[in-house]
Amino acid sequence: MAAAEKLAHLPGDAPIQFFDLKAQQASIRGALETRWTTILDHGRYIGGPEVDECEQKLCEFTGAADAVVVGSGTQALVMPLIALGYGHGDAVFIPGFTYNATANAVLLAGATPVLVDIDPATFNMDAADLERKIQMVKGNRNLRARAIMPVDLYGLPADYAALESVADAHGLRIVADAAQAFGGRQGNQWIGTLAEISATSFYPTKTLGGYGDGGAIMVRDKEVGDLLRSIRWHGTGDNRKESIRVGINGRCDSIQCAVVSEKLGIFEEERQRRIQAASIYNERLTGKVDGQVVGANEESAYGLYTVRVPDRDGVRASLQEKGVPTAIYYDTPIHQMPAFEQFAPPGGLPECERASREVLSLPMHPYLSEDQIHRVCDALLATLQR
Ligand SMILES: Cc1ncc(COP(=O)(O)O)c(C=O)c1O
């Protein structure tokens, strides 16, 4: 059955969930219970065969040369920075409109986050402002420009072609924060292969989520994968005892790997349903409500479907009254959070600031019915016309 037909067949009058992990669980529960039994029987709760299986499946889906599963999306960002040897005085360029983990990861690695404004159409890092921020760093004797950490916000891949040309011109590396974007693609390249190193998160509500914390690093170079496996186990070599470099406990346990492998089995079906849900939103809302612009040659993973609205608090309250749950990602840009204020660039980041005032995310998951999506749109359009 095509995705559109499936959406149409789901019960329409059910309460609308912002995310729906229960409906998803129902479709894989039996298989998961079999997997729990297998893990309880073999007893390798860390480093079981599920780890290799999951890594292999991630490579098969994305086309990455190697994938290394880790304990969280945050670890998946910190570990590549450790692998590349960044630390004191090394500048890593990140967008100023993202989850706080992006900034924390740079600081935990000992490097300095340099905040870049976003393109208002895509909410992703603006390559022109990146160039300005690189020039700013070049004028600072205490910093060396090293790497770019673009974020694929809401599931939409960043503008890798533009970012790569800036990176090449200045000798910078790219470590992608694809925490929200597993399943997105540009042309025929999947998230996980769009940068030399890409990090994703298995936080339960992500497009590919586990039942706990987890994440993965996907790489183009197998040697980097081996280095990350050493860093994942305190920088040890084969004996797992002697540290030959600095590392951390970055492991992902067997149970999370089993969940992620099982979810990869239904991932393409779910991805199609998200695309179908987004296309109904687009049909109803384009031209009436500003949203995230997805290019002709790319697909968002649709981790979130986000629009801009005036009087956001009023709109949210009205939608809530009509049974439509919404969420805000994010109401504070990075440079206005107390922990990161010291990294605020002169003049601020106007588009990050505007986005943080205007964004509103609508329900988005693979188990929304067509009717429910229309109810969301009816409620939103009625509220905006008041
Ligand atoms: C953009 C972004 N980066 C990093 C992370 C961190 O992932 P985790 O929560 O798995 O550590 C998240 C998760 O919410 C995220 O949305």
Q: Residues 177, 92, 84, 253: what is their CA dihedral angle, to the nearest 10 degrees?
A: -30
Number of structural domains (the chain) is 2
| Same domain assignment for residues 226 and 87 | yes
Give the separation between CA 193 and CA 216, rounded to whole angstroms: 13
Residues in the chain: 386
**pLDDT range class, residue 5, cuts 50, 70, 90:** low
| Same domain assignment for residues 54 and 154 | yes
Ligand 1 within 6 A of 193 CB? no
* 140-167 tens-digit pLDDT: 999 999 999 999 999 999 999 999 999 9
| Same domain assignment for residues 128 and 14 | no
Indicate if the pLDDT at residue 3 is higher than 50.
no
Q: What is the pLDDT of residue 386?
A: 81
Indicate if the pLDDT at residue 217 is higher than 50.
yes
- Give the atom of ligand 1 at the shortest distance from the alpha carbon of 75: 11
Give the separation between CA 267 and CA 259, rounded to whole angstroms: 12
Indicate if the pLDDT at residue 32 is higher than 50.
yes
| Same domain assignment for residues 188 and 276 | no
- Tell me the torsion sign for CA atoms 71, 73, 76, 82: negative
> What's the 156 CA to ligand 1 centre distance in angstroms?
15
DSSP labels, 94-141: EESSS-HHHHHHHHHTT-EEEEE-B-TTTSSBPHHHHHHHHHHHHT-T
**pLDDT range class, residue 10, cuts 50, 70, 90:** low
Q: What residue type is assigned to position 183 of the chain?
A: G
| Same domain assignment for residues 236 and 288 | no
Task: Find out whether 280 and 374 touch, Cβ atoms under 8 Å.
Answer: yes
- Tell me the torsion sign for CA atoms 54, 277, 321, 313: positive
| Same domain assignment for residues 213 and 291 | no
Last residue of some domain: 215, 230, 265? 265
| Same domain assignment for residues 273 and 251 | no
Q: What is the pLDDT of residue 206?
A: 98
> What's the 213 CA to ligand 1 centre distance in angstroms?
10
Indicate if the pLDDT at residue 1 is higher than 60.
no
Last residue of some domain: 241, 265, 289? 265
Last residue of some domain: 245, 265, 285? 265
> What's the 99 CA to ligand 1 centre distance in angstroms?
6
**Going by CA atoms, what residue is nearest to atom 8 of ligand 1?**
73
Q: How is residue 139 written in tokens?
A: 């004028």
| Same domain assignment for residues 255 and 352 | no
Indicate if the pLDDT at residue 63 is higher than 50.
yes
Which domain does 215 fall in, by range?
Answer: 28-265
| Same domain assignment for residues 303 and 201 | no
Share of the chain above pLDDT 70, in %: 97
Give the separation between CA 194 and CA 250, rounded to whole angstroms: 23
Q: What is the pLDDT of residue 13?
A: 74
